[in-house]
């Protein structure tokens, strides 16, 4: 088949799949989702809402809360870190270099690009400061630049850790510092060949001795072969002093954000699952991350649901696969997670906020919001509730796409919006 003919066939399939009423099922959320049958077509349904400016609009937050843009004109903000003195660091950049394998990848890449910002990635860290505590961050300055698609951020004991797309690095940091005093020190290289999933999420243990680095797969379902997946679809545990590392958990297709539970010290993650099994499969999820645990990719999903596309199959791996804790729904593209604090108010005091970047492969887009998953006794308990919405409007246009969500201990939720290149701050009204 000639390339142009393949594109024509794919275009027709897109049209037909968008009209297939069987693909408009409800999403299943929670600890025990009802999973539909697998649905495989020539190509997945693809739809990205048309980007638009916010103008006078803002995201919608619950009654009793207010939302403000505290930084604009950024270079693709991804993740956010609150420093001990209250300053905010924002990682900015765009990574990835994976070649397209099939004509459908070209189509998918084009469609996804229409829903993303056209701004060049900053490859830097920007510092924000509200010196007088009035909620207006009057200082917006570059803390460090010439980085390589920085994403994950962590701090402990005078050290600022940054996960670039190719390496884990460290800056020495003094309280109140507004600019890095020297180039960063490399702790270790991270898998970066191909980099289909390039983001490297980061968290640090409560004692500051261990870093956790989340590394996504190099494919949807091993299309590049298992050799391309060495050291990927994993969370690494890294000794901050020596740089020695080991796989902490495996079988996580694309763990995009990590957080440490404050009371228990337990590591949690949000994970983007595989595509091309239908608009309602496979659910992205929130889960505790167990040391030595295997979470299914590529052989199965949500426990023992077999994905026959991964060959050869390994029944012993399927049998060992851990079922995640909480389904967020298929294709919501969860890219941010953080635990709340009591200062966020009684309704949102215990649980996690999750930033959902939004789908590209459903006829009815989902995600494009920040949700709150309540916890009780250290586990998800109850239905998730919308916390910040309106990023995709009723007019079908997209004005923002949430990525990282970070809770300021003083009682505010920070949201990185990589479409509007803005950081939003949500606070309780006094």
Residue 303, number of CB atoms within 10 A of its CB: 14
Rounded CA separation 382/89 (Å): 32
The per-residue pLDDT for 362 is: 86
Encoding tokens for residue 108? 């998918």
pLDDT in tens, 100-143: 666 556 555 656 666 677 788 889 999 999 999 999 999 999 99
DSSP-derived pairing of the beta strands 305-306 and 369-376: unpaired
pLDDT in tens, 84-110: 999 999 999 999 876 666 655 655 565
Task: Examine residue 250 and say whether the peptide bond preceding it is cis (omega within 30 degrees of 0).
Answer: no
What are the residue ranges spanned by the domains of the chain? 65-428
DSSP-derived pairing of the beta strands 77-82 and 65-71: unpaired
The per-residue pLDDT for 116 is: 74
Encoding tokens for residue 214? 């989340």
Cβ neighbours for 399, distance < 8 A, ≥ 6 positions apart: 51, 52, 53, 54, 57, 390, 391, 392, 393, 419, 420
65-428 is classed CATH 2.120.10.30: yes
| Residue among 419, 257, 276, 224 at smallest CA distance from 338 | 257
Residue 4: pLDDT band (50, 70, 90) is very low
Tell me the whole-structure pTM to 2 decimals: 0.91
Helix (H, G, I), strand (E, B) or coil at 24: coil
pLDDT in tens, 369-388: 999 999 999 999 999 999 99
| Residue among 63, 61, 68, 15 at smallest CA distance from 42 | 15
The per-residue pLDDT for 361 is: 84
Q: What is the end-to-end Cα distance of the chain in Å, rounded? A: 65
Helix (H, G, I), strand (E, B) or coil at 52: coil
């Amino acid at each position: 088949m000639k390339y142009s003919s393949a594109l024509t066939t794919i275009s027709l399939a897109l049209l037909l799949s968008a009209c297939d009423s069987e693909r408009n099922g409800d999403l299943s959320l929670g600890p025990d989702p009802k999973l539909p049958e697998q649905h495989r077509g020539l190509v997945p349904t693809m739809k990205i809402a048309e980007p638009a400016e916010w103008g006078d609009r803002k995201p919608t937050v619950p009654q009793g809360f207010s939302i403000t843009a505290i930084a604009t004109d950024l270079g693709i903000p991804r993740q956010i870190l609150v420093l001990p003195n209250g300053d905010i660091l924002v990682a900015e950049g765009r990574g990835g270099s994976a070649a397209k394998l099939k004509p459908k990848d070209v189509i998918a890449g084009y469609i996804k690009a229409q829903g993303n910002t056209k701004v060049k990635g900053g490859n830097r860290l920007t510092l924000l400061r509200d010196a007088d505590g009035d909620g207006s961050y009057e200082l917006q300055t570059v803390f460090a630049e010439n980085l390589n698609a920085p994403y994950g951020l962590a701090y402990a004991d005078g050290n600022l850790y940054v996960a670039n797309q190719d390496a884990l690095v460290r800056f020495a940091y003094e309280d109140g510092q507004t600019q890095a005093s020297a180039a960063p020190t490399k702790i270790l290289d991270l898998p970066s060949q191909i980099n289909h999933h390039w983001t490297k999420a980061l968290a640090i243990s409560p004692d500051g001795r261990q870093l956790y680095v989340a590394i996504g797969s190099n494919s949807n379902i091993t299309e590049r072969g298992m050799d391309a997946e060495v050291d990927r679809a994993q969370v690494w545990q890294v000794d901050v002093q020596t740089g020695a590392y080991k796989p902490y958990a495996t079988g996580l297709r694309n763990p995009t954000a990590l957080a440490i539970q404050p009371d228990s010290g337990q590591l949690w993650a949000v994970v983007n699952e595989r595509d091309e099994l239908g608009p309602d499969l496979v659910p992205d999820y929130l889960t505790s991350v167990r040391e030595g645990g295997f979470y299914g990719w590529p052989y199965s999903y949500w426990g023992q649901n077999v994905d026959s596309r991964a060959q050869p199959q390994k029944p012993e791996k399927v049998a060992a696969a851990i079922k995640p804790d909480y389904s967020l729904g298929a294709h919501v593209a969860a890219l941010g997670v953080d635990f709340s604090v009591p200062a966020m108010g009684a309704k949102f005091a215990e649980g996690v906020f999750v930033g959902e970047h939004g789908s590209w492969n459903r006829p009815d887009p989902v995600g494009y919001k920040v949700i709150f998953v309540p916890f009780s006794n250290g586990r998800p308990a109850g239905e998730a509730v919308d916390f910040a919405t309106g990023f995709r409007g009723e007019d079908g246009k997209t004005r923002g796409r949430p990525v990282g969500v970070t809770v300021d201990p003083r009682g505010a939720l920070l949201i990185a919006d990589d479409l509007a290149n803005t950081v939003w701050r949500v606070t309780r009204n006094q």
